[in-house]
Amino acid sequence: MTDGTLDYAECAPNANGMNITFENVTFSYPKKTENVIRDVSFTIKQGQIVVIVGLNGSGKSTLFKLINRLYDVKSGTIFVNRHPITSYTTKSLRKVMAMHYQTYTHYPLSIYENILLGDADDGSIDAENEQALRNSVKEAIEMGGAEEIIEKQPTGMDTVLKPNFRARGYKTEAAGPEFKAKMDEITKTSELSAGQWQRLAL
């Protein structure tokens, strides 16, 4: 896949959304001969809310993978704000997109750190930018509508929802109550519904 040269933010500094156009797009996955989508054309205007409905395997998720340039089209053209999508750098294009698939990954880190992974460019944490990063994560939480979920967690956005911890070499039955209490604390998971996990993923 050849990268483009245009920076999306420079081309659309004041944009509030994208204009996306598919023109006669056909696509098949690598090493597959069957087309997943064939001769698809549509336009989504800036600010529109669009729902794509179809049978399982009809290519709905594939459309989003093409918009995010995880793959390039076999034929046809995708335009973003009147420029061919391939003319943008993938880095600048993906930076202004948020793709939320049915399956998503959460890591054995704090809520704060999981959200911070969504902006890898700004994700280096040090004493100088720690507060700025926390403020940006709080803003993302508010925009995603996850405030109520996080407020209910024992340590807010510093809560580790799914700790990845294995105790080895300890006979906990012979340990004192303080050790047992600490083990219970650091291995405790928070039970969230599927909808709540999706809200955090936003």
Residues with Cβ within 8 Å of 67's Cβ and at least 6 positions away in sequence, in order, are 20, 78, 85, 97
Cα distance between residue 114 and residue 187, in whole Å = 18
- Over residues 103-151, the pLDDT tens digits come to 666 777 788 888 887 765 655 556 567 788 888 888 888 888 888 888 8
pLDDT at 131: 81
**pLDDT for the residue numbered 164:** 60
Same-domain check for residues 119 and 192: yes
Helix (H) or strand (E) segment spanning residue 27: strand 20-27
Looking at the fold, whether 90 and 126 belong to one and the same domain comes out as no
Residues 122 and 47 in one domain: no
- pTM higher than the cut 0.75: no
pLDDT-flagged residues of the chain (< 50): none
pLDDT of residue 165: 56
Q: What is the CATH number of the domain that holds 88?
A: 3.40.50.300
Whether 116 and 159 share a structural domain: yes
Predicted confidence at residue 122, as pLDDT, reads 55
**What six digits make up the tokens of 47?**
């600010």
